[in-house]
Chain A
């Protein structure tokens, strides 16, 4: 079964709007990370939130984590065309070593000018 599952699978918005995507996972984790992948490129690390944190901000990104519900959300505010990409959440279980991540299937975000 998947550890991280994103919702929605695809999201289409206009520039200036906010984009919200969710991630659910199954096992106990050390931390949860969000990555972005532009078409044909590698994954770029966006933000990490530890299991004892509930909210974190980085620029236009806001991440929340609810360990009781085993879920996280990523909010991108004031979206830009350059934010068009696939976004993945990734978790590392408390039983695994750092760096051994379990990814969800991703949310494909399209931001139109």
Chain B
């Protein structure tokens, strides 16, 4: 089966610009997560979708971040406007039913200059 795919793999933008990250989970996985690793620190949870619904968005840092999952398939994470501290690697993960492990994508490395 195809794994979790993320696009783009790298993005370099200027402060104040907008960036949209995309995640395609494994087909059939209702649960989708966004995590990020900023400045070499620990990987932090951002939010969790179950199908198209936001189950938990307690990790979203502020209202400059907007995550969507229309139709319950792929998800997007938009940062608008981007700030320098948003630089880092954004990971998406999905999982199947029950207490199954997370499958992570390769991440999108975001650099805000």
Are B106 and A42 in contact (CB-based, < 8 A)? Answer: yes
Given contacts A98-B99, A99-B102, A42 and B43 within 8 Å (CB-CB): no
Partner-A contacts on B (CB < 8 A): 3-4, 31, 33, 35, 40-45, 48, 55-56, 91, 93, 95, 99, 101-107
Given contacts A42-B104, A97-B48, A103 and B31 within 8 Å (CB-CB): no
Are B48 and A100 in contact (CB-based, < 8 A)? Answer: yes
Closest B residue by C-beta to A35: B104
Would you give the 0/1 interface string for A6-33, flagging 1 where the beta carbon is closer than 8 Å to chain B? Answer: 0000000000000000000000000001
Are B55 and A97 in contact (CB-based, < 8 A)? Answer: yes
Number of A residues near B (Cβ < 8 Å) is 23
Are A105 and B4 in contact (CB-based, < 8 A)? Answer: no
Partner-B contacts on A (CB < 8 A): 2, 4, 33, 35, 40-45, 48, 88, 90, 97-106
Are A99 and B48 in contact (CB-based, < 8 A)? Answer: yes
Cα distance A97–B95 in the bound complex, in angstroms: 13
- Please tell me which one of the listed residues A2, A42, A100, A103 contacts residue B56 in the complex, with CB atoms under 8 A apart: A100
